Structure 1
Amino acid sequence: MDATDAETACFEAGIKFGSLYHQFAGTPVSPSSADSIARAMEEAIENQPHCESVTVDVLTGELENELADSTADYTELTGRFLEVEMVIDYEGHEVHTRMDVQDGYPLMRVEDVRSRD
């Protein structure tokens, strides 16, 4: 059985999340570099086919809390410091996705699938 266009659009969203997360996990990040890393992540993922938009927010408050008791000026980027939204457009189907922390785990999920037909 072939995948439907809506299913393929959701698969494309998963590929983009996997790329975003695993490409940037472990990158040194500080509150002062958070915006530039967020923009780099957005631009990298937007290069991929079918990606309409990406919004990445690095949670600087969480970074500051992490660094409060540390002698270091930076920490490693992980999903617990990120909120991400993506829109994927494939063959008339728009997939709206989100990643944020749920119970301490960076959860990636499909929020909505819309057909433009």
Structure 2
Amino acid sequence: MTEKEITDRDNALFEAGIKLGALYHQFTGSPVNLKTASSLEHAIQESISVQPFVENISVKIDRELLKSKLNSEFGYTELQGPMLEVKITVKYGSSRVKVAMEYNSELSYPLMKIENIQ
């Protein structure tokens, strides 16, 4: 495939995948507790939203899973992939894609996926 054959759709999907991967690897392992979960969600959203082509992002940390992982002595845990529910909309040229990351219980894995292409 030549550069001229690569479409806005291709580039939008590539950009969206990069953002999900960067988010996952940048923020998992961050210290978090029930008091700081909202501010961490906001920080992740703000960080990723400044990257090129991001139109919208939402990040939710599963409070029940977070609560179950808290260290009883220190009251915090590390952010883990299964705790994250993320939705990102990327617009590149004439294409807009919506991607997501959420825990897939069948695979026991935080799966990244394409939800919509326009």
Q: TM-score, normalised by structure 1?
A: 0.91
4+ residue runs of structure 1 moved beyond 2 angstroms?
69-72
Q: After TM superposition, list the pairs within 5 Å mapping 1:33-44 onto structure 2.
A: 33-44=36-47
State the one-letter code of the partner of 1:42.
Q
Aligned to 2:97: 95
**Secondary structure of the corresponding residue to residue 86 of structure 2:** strand
1: distance between equivalents of 2:50 and 2:102?
Answer: 22
Which string of whole-angstrom CA distances, capped at 9 and with x for unpartnered residues, describes residues 12-70 of structure 1?
A: 00111111111111100111110000000000000000000110001111111222x73
The letter of the residue matching 2:97 is: V
- Which of residues 82, 87, 112 in structure 2 aligns to 1:108? 112
Matched, 1:84 2:86: yes
From 69, 75, 87, the counterpart of 1:66: 69
- Tell me the distance in 2 between the aligned counterparts of 1:105 and 1:33: 24
Give the aligned CA root-mean-square deviation in angstroms. Answer: 1.1
Q: Deviations over 1:56-99 (max 9, x none)?
A: 001111111222x7333111111111100000000011100111
1:45 corresponds in structure 2 to: 48
Separation (CA, whole Å) in 1 of partners of 2:102 and 2:26: 17
* Count of residue correspondences: 113
Structure 1: tracts of 5 or more residues without a match: none
Deviation of 1:5 (Å): 1.1
TM-score under structure 2 length normalisation = 0.91
Give the Cα–Cα distance (whole angstroms) in 1 for the partners of residues 87 and 93 of structure 2: 20
